């Protein structure tokens, strides 16, 4: 990444020190609104040890590209036939309870605090991996969705991963979701691809020679990751990897 080094350093860097200031008021809040586990509702923990112990990793072996379970090691038929912007997608867990429930609470019930344990799942997966990355980028939300939710769940996940694993995180708003897209939940694979294609734009310095790790909460078909990968490649990135908390296995 040579000449881009200083530019990228100015892009990475998040104000971690600012966070400790909120700890005291957090303790006061605990007395008034005690913390409940996002999985089983038990008092005292944001996501209790019993719930965490039920997290299921993706069954091996997986397709080297898309990360879905396959019978034989290698690439699945769909990944053999095409070329992709994202070299490999991996997930820390299968998208089913208790992870699906925790992600739902995190995104739709304002449980911002779940960014920590869910981000730790990413860090746990990343530990021991041999891939090296120059920059970590969270899948952005469109401005309208960000305003409505108040936070970008993927950015919080990436912050935890980078803090725990010591990776360089991109500040928000450099990869942008320029076009508001439909919720993907009821769309088929091809509709998903068309829905997000061209929706992202890189607004930072060139990424020539840089390898990027993309972070998102859930991967289903990988269409959103692929659309981000397209924008990162257009900016010059040499390689794009993706890591999500969970992977939907079409159950």
Which residues of this protein are in contact with Zn ion, per CB under 5 A? 37, 39-40, 48, 51, 63, 65-66, 76, 79
Q: How far is CA 49 from CA 39, 45, 117, in A?
A: 10, 8, 10
Considering beta carbons, is residue 90 or 176 the nearer one to Zn ion? 90
> What minimum distance in Å lies between the beta carbon of 249 and Zn ion?
12
Put residue 97 in one of left, alpha, beta given phi > 0 → left and psi -120 to 50 → alpha: beta
Considering beta carbons, is residue 66 or 243 the nearer one to Zn ion? 66
Considering beta carbons, is residue 45 or 201 the nearer one to Zn ion? 45
Considering beta carbons, is residue 79 or 227 the nearer one to Zn ion? 79
For the CA atoms of 74, 234, 6, 176, the dihedral, rounded to the nearest 10 degrees, stands at: -100
Q: Using N-to-C axis directions, what is the helix angle for 115-126 and 99-108, rounded to 10°?
A: 130
> What minimum distance in Å lies between the beta carbon of 91 and Zn ion?
13
Considering beta carbons, is residue 25 or 53 the nearer one to Zn ion? 53
> What minimum distance in Å lies between the beta carbon of 84 and Zn ion?
9
The enclosing H or E element of 50 equals helix 49-52
3-state class percentages of the chain: helix first, strand second, coil last, to nearest 5? 40, 15, 45
> What minimum distance in Å lies between the beta carbon of 102 and Zn ion?
9
How far apart CA 53 and CA 178 sit, in angstroms, is 39
Considering beta carbons, is residue 2 or 71 the nearer one to Zn ion? 71
Considering beta carbons, is residue 72 or 132 the nearer one to Zn ion? 72
> What minimum distance in Å lies between the beta carbon of 98 and Zn ion?
7
Q: How far is CA 69 from CA 64, 73, 100, 128, 137, in A?
A: 10, 9, 18, 20, 25
> What minimum distance in Å lies between the beta carbon of 33 and Zn ion?
17
CB atoms within 10 A of CB 183: 8
> What minimum distance in Å lies between the beta carbon of 124 and Zn ion?
18
Q: For 122, phi and psi rounded to 5 degrees? A: -60, -45
- Is residue 79 within 8 A of residue 73, CB to CB? The reply is no
């Amino acid at each position: 990444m040579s000449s881009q080094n200083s530019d990228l350093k100015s892009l990475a860097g998040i104000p971690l020190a600012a966070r400790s200031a909120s700890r005291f008021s957090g303790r006061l809040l605990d007395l008034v609104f005690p913390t409940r586990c996002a999985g089983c509702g038990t008092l005292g923990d944001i996501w209790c040890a019993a719930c965490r112990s039920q997290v299921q990793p993706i069954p091996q072996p997986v397709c080297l590209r898309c990360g879905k379970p396959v019978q034989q090691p290698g690439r699945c038929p769909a990944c053999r036939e095409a070329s992709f912007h994202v070299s490999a997608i991996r997930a820390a867990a299968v998208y089913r309870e208790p992870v699906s429930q925790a992600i739902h609470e995190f995104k739709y019930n304002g449980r911002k605090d779940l960014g920590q344990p869910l981000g730790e799942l990413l860090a746990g997966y990343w530990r021991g991996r041999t891939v090296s990355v120059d920059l970590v980028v969270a899948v952005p939300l469109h401005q309208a969705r960000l305003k409505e939710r108040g936070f970008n769940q993927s950015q919080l996940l990436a912050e935890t991963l980078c803090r725990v694993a010591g990776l360089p995180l991109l500040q928000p708003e450099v990869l942008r979701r320029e076009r508001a897209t439909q919720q993907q939940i009821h769309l088929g694979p091809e509709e998903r691809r068309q829905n997000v294609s061209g929706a992202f734009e890189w607004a930072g310095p060139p990424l020539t020679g840089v390898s990027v790790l993309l972070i998102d909460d859930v991967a289903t078909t990988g269409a959103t990751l692929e659309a981000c990968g397209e924008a990162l490649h257009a900016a010059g990135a040499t390689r794009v990897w993706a890591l999500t908390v969970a992977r939907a296995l079409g159950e």
